[in-house]
Chain A
């Protein structure tokens, strides 16, 4: 069974540009989460989808971040325009139910120059 996959693994962009991160959850997992780890800090929750609906987006830093999950399958996280402080590793996780184990992807390392 394939795990959670994320694309790209690395992204280097200039300040002001747009970047879109993609997450493919484990097949059949309705719950999808985004997290971010800024260097030297803890991993922080960004938002939670149940199927295509945003269940909790309390961790989204600001309106430069837009997450979507059309059709309840894969999800994208767009940062527009990117700022220096957006640099970090973005993790995606999925679970079968709301209390199920969250399985994490390898992360996307975003560097904003």
Chain B
């Protein structure tokens, strides 16, 4: 069975500082990996995805993530935080082997931006 671990339910950074949100997964084969963001009172929005092409994936709003098979990680980064980045972020995996299509999510990380 797949599982996703997001370290830290809340992460606080200063505006302009580096954002690093951690995600580790457990899967028998390298899965497809996703980062979603949820702003208040909105649905989840896809930030970026890894589907076995380039290991460094660039997404929207200046975010990127790197797939590291040896570390079973898919950490999300942004060089310079903006106040508008304050939201909840979810890492998710999906089977890449033609099996189930439902996503398995981590518990989410609230990103807090300090002025």
Contacts and interface: CB of A to CB of B under 8 A. Distances in A.
Interface residues of B, number: 22
B102 interface: yes
Interface string A94-105: 000011011111
Contact of B101 (A4, A55, A103): A55
Contacts, number: 59
Contact of A101 (B42, B43, B46, B90): B46
A55 B92 CA distance: 20
Contact of A43 (B45, B90, B100): B90
B107 interface: yes
A5 B4 CA distance: 27
Interface in A46-67: 47-48, 55-56, 58-59
Q: For chain A, give the interface size range.
A: 20 to 34
A59 B1 CA distance: 13
A31 interface: yes
A98 B101 contact: yes
Interface of A: 3-4, 31, 33, 35, 41-45, 47-48, 55-56, 58-59, 91, 93, 98-99, 101-107
